[in-house]
Structure 1
Amino acid sequence: MENPYNTSSVLVWHHLRIPPERAAVTFLFASLSYTVILFCNLLLILTIVLSKNLRQPMHLFLLNMPVNDLLGSSAFFLQLLKELLSDSGRLWYPACVTQAFFIHIYAAGTIFILTAMAYDRYVAICLPLKYGAVMTHGHVMRIIAAIWLACLLLIGVLFWLLLRLPRCRSAVHNIYCDHPTLLALVCADTTLNQVYGLLLVAVTQLLANGIILYTYLRILLACFRSGRSDTKAKALQTCATHLFVFLLLECLGLFTIISYRVRQLPDSFRSFMGSSTLIFPPSLNPIVYGIRTKEIRDNIVHFFRSKMIKSCVRNLRSSSS
């Protein structure tokens, strides 16, 4: 009797069929975007790691943001660039699962990191006298460890539930792999998977939105009660920066989730919304958190100035000799 299930490790990538005249432009745009994301996020990581004056809890939380952004953008762009070069229209199933796993780790990690940063700002602004006692190095490390462990556990269960089900389809109708895309390949009862996925989104969103809403409201109240104008300005700038990044991610993520529920939407729109979540936040976060943060901006400027001075000194010595 013929096996009704598809056990092949090769998937067909239908949606990534780009006309030859557009392939070079698409590859150039994707390469440039990934290069910018790599440069900006690596620069932010190196600045925080190599600068001895950037050891505050805020900077330790911030260090996880570019690491997480590189995780998500690399999972997206490396597979995309590989396909644009080969133009095979084929995708290895384990590579698809790996890409989807790290993209979901990126999505969960971003929400948890932003929530931890909001908590840090709340303690710093609303409880300044207790900040040193509360936000100790050990406490910060435990929060960071909890963030990554929660991401691995929650997303690990999501994909364990997926991989236990048999596949009978091989067509991928998305520009990248994610959990809904892989779930569409399954020919079995996926009720448990869908319930867990929706429950995971609902709980994390309620938890993150609740904490962030509470902390920012308390911060705003503390700002308006403060008589110091510089304290108000700095706190409001911090709130505005965090809220901008959080709302951008929330809007893109919400549209992506809705696009999977509305079948009438074209695949191109669904792919655009999903890829925007993996392109815009990793591109904007280093600018928003790096350039707009005075301590980090000063360290970046000092780094490039010292490199330029050393280069000029070497050139003068070589020319004089």
Structure 2
Amino acid sequence: MENFTWNSDTLQVEGLKVTQVSVYPVFFFFLLSYILINLANIGILVVIFIDKNLHQPMYLLFCNMPVNDIVGNSIMLPRLLSDILRPPSERLISYYECVLQAFSTHMYATTSHTILMIMAFDRYVAICNPLRYAAIMTNNIVVKLTVSAWGTAFVLVGILLGLTIRLNRCRTVITNPFCDNASLFKLSCESVFINNIYGLTFTVVLLSSSIGSIVLTYAKITVVCVTSKSKSLNSKALKTCSTHLMSYMIMFFCGMLIVILHRFPQLSDYRKMCTILFHIVPGSLNPVIYGVQSKEIQTFLSKLIQSRKPMLVS
């Protein structure tokens, strides 16, 4: 199937190389991870929706993260689970389904950065301009920040995939556990110079903007906390910023590990596993981190549990 079919509508996904003994342990690990991601993220969305005390800009902006985790993993993981149970020769996918999966994969990665960037802005306003916070972070601004986070990602990823779709294909094997842009343009025998230039520019701009916004906002927050010498302000900053920074560091290091492993072709199997963990780890940990650190969420859950106890006793 490798080099003789031009613009074939059916592609073969290489998938994970799993031994016969490991098939079911790996399958159930990913299945349980997918169930955990959905339960945890849907649960925290329901909590924020029900409790009016959580209808604050910080939590409304945070809602973008569980939505992104649910959508990103729901398009990638179910397909991966079905492929694990199939022999390599039967791991077939249509070209347009592959493009959709690649688009969702890159949307997930890009919005993971843009969402954390707008959340960093919210933390900056809350700590550095607390008296003007309510006037600045209105519902209208929250909507605009959310649209900008998703809209920017949509445009950038749309151009990325658009440059790839224009290419003719002479190969049919996706050398990855799931479809992404690099796997798609590697199917072409044409020049992919423009794709590489745009992909590199896209990555540099996204990472520099992401890292720059985090460093800048946290530097200003640190200066405000040090100069104010207010214990209450420092406590608020530590509580609200630690969750955001922890989520960012988990996402950043998972992504950097993939980039590093790209430099070592002999470790391609580890890189493939890391690309999957890039979806699973943040999606599993983000709701737990915010649930544990947020006093408001803890208060709501404790009230909910206490209200259930009399019903259980009776």
TM (norm. structure 1) is 0.91
Q: Which of 110, 113, 117 is 1:111 aligned to?
A: 113
Question: C-alpha separation between the residues in 2 aligned to 1:20 and 1:5?
Answer: 31
Aligned twin of 1:280: 281
Count of aligned pairs: 310
* Partner Cα distance (2:306, 2:97) in 1: 42
1:301 and 1:95, CA in 2 relative to 1: closer, same or farther beyond 3 A? farther
Q: CA deviation at 1:308?
A: 4.4
Query: How much does 1:206 deviate?
Result: 1.4
Query: How far is 1:140 from its partner?
Result: 1.0
Q: 1:223 to 1:153 in 2, by over 3 A?
A: same
Within a 5 Å distance, the mapping from 1:91-240 to structure 2 comes to 91-240=93-242
State the match for 1:319 in structure 2: none
| Identity over aligned pairs, percent | 35
Paired with 1:4 and 1:172, the residues of 2 have a C-alpha distance of 15
Q: Is the 8 A contact 1:17 1:89 kept in 2?
A: no
Q: How far apart in 2 are the matches of 1:197 and 1:302? A: 49
Name whichever of 78-87 and 61-70 sits farther off: 78-87
Shift of 1:242: 1.9
Matched residue SS, 2:63: helix
Change in CA separation of 1:223 and 1:79 when aligned onto 2, cut-off 3 Å: same
Which one-letter code corresponds to 1:77 in the other structure?
L
Deviates more, 1:78-87 or 1:299-308: 299-308
In the other structure, the counterpart of 2:6 is 6
5+ long unaligned stretches in structure 2: none
Q: Which residue of 1 aligns with 2:44?
A: 44
**Cα root mean square deviation, aligned:** 1.9
**Which segment is superposed worse, 167-176 or 119-128?**
167-176
How far off its partner does 1:118 sit? 0.8
Aligned to 1:60: 60
Cα distance, 1:279 vs. partner? 1.0
1:290 aligns with 2:297: no
Q: 1:151 to 1:310 in 2, by over 3 A?
A: farther
Distance 1:97 1:306, change over 3 A: farther
Seen in structure 2, the aligned counterparts of structure 1 residues 27 and 264 have a Cα distance that, compared at 3 Å, is: closer
What is the alpha-carbon distance in structure 2 between the residues aligned to residue 308 and residue 101 of structure 1? 46
Separation in 2, partners of 1:104, 1:15? 18
TM-score by length of structure 2 reads: 0.92
Mark the runs of 5 or more structure 1 residues left unpaired by the alignment: 317-321
- Cα distance in 1 for partners of 2:115, 2:130 equals 21
- Deviation sequence 1:192-245 (CA, Å, 0-9, x none): 111111111111111121111111011111111223213212212333322222
